Amino acid sequence: MSEKLILIGGAGGFIGGHLVADLLSQGHTRIRAVDIKPLEEWHQVFPQVENLQLDLSRLDACEQAAKGAATIYNLAADMGGMGFIENNKALCMLSVLINTHLLMAAKDAGVERYFYSSSACVYNADKQRDPNVTALKEADAYPGMPEDGYGWEKLFSERMCRHFREDFGMVTRVARYHNVYGPNGTYDGGREKAPAAICRKVIEAKLSGKHEIEIWGDGHQTRSFMYITDCLYGTQAILKSDILEAINLGSSELVTINQLVDVVEEIAGIQLKRSYNLSAPKGVNGRNSDNTLIKELLGWEPCTRLRDGMEKTYKWIYDEIVAKK
């Protein structure tokens, strides 16, 4: 398999960059890394692979990217944390062009396996109103009432993968990511997600001596967070599997946002005065991954403890911030 060409869409992003690194470490020699951003803006760049700056929302770019590929990982999307998602619904919806055009190009190119990175944002909002949430099973995506904009795009693109499989015989696999975090990601600028944002805020409070932190929402909203190494393993295992329908890929370790702040404060060795911005975007009140199906089908589930993953993430962001200062 190491001689067959692997295409990674969104390779300049957080997960995509880590996936390129992981595939290289396994001995894969033919990798095509594609992203819309200029190379200098990629989170990780590897000169030994074919790096292309292409807009995968365009069919011609997808045809160029897919040519000769045996495997495609589609991680490309215009997205970010809750602040970005709630304020850029049209931009999020336009990512439907990426998956649609890449599926069309993959079909014509005879691609053997196609992976699509969906999201827990596809789940019905009515099932996520209580912080003491019942973990979400795969069937809870229907009847459809996903996150407005971003969630609708993900749910539609899941269906597109399904119908390309049913109608054209393509091998498509779909994972619903639950809040992936780790080093080498976005931690400022408005597109960062909660783990990175809280690390940044705690670090800035520590370095400035102003021991205060603003938390979006009331801090009682609950989430689970999956460390990047678990995401990489699960993504590749799902692609290689016989799992036809979209499946959860996330940790089942549920925490409140307040508890997430507790973890980062402990790592930093500091306690901060907390203020709560109740008008800021905060997403659903509760969301957790039910891992019954992935344990049954793969005999595995994401297992990195939040404390362990956050320690590595905090150290990387701390070093980045100090280096910039």
pLDDT digits (tens, 9 = 90+) for 16-50: 999 999 999 999 989 999 999 999 999 999 999 99
> pLDDT band at 2, cuts 50/70/90?
low
Beta strands in the chain (DSSP E): 5-9, 31-35, 50-53, 69-74, 113-119, 172-177, 180-181, 212-216, 222-223, 226-227, 247-249, 255-256, 273-277
Assigned token pair, 250: 């996330």
Verdict on whether the full-model pTM lies above 0.75: yes
Taking residue 34's Cβ as centre, other Cβ atoms within 10 Å add up to 27
E strands of 134-197, at which residues? Answer: 172-177, 180-181
Classify residue 322 by burial, with Cβ atoms within 10 Å: 0-12, 13-18, 19+.
exposed
More confident residue, 61 or 1: 61
The residues carrying an active-site annotation are 150
pLDDT reading at 1 higher than 60: no
- Of 247, 216, 239, the closest CA to residue 6 belongs to 239
Distance of CA 239 to the CA centre of its chain: 16
- Report pLDDT for 81: 76
Q: Using CA atoms, how far apart are residues 90 and 107, in angstroms rounded to an integer?
A: 27
Please tell me whether residue 36 adopts helix, strand or coil conformation: coil
What does the pLDDT read at residue 84? Answer: 86
Question: What is the model's pLDDT at position 137?
Answer: 96
pLDDT(123) > 70: yes
Determine the pLDDT at residue 200: 97
Digit-coded pLDDT (tens) for 189-242: 988 999 999 999 999 999 999 999 999 999 999 999 999 999 999 999 999 999
Average confidence score pLDDT of the chain: 96
Instruction: Please report the pLDDT score of residue 133 as a whole number.
Output: 86
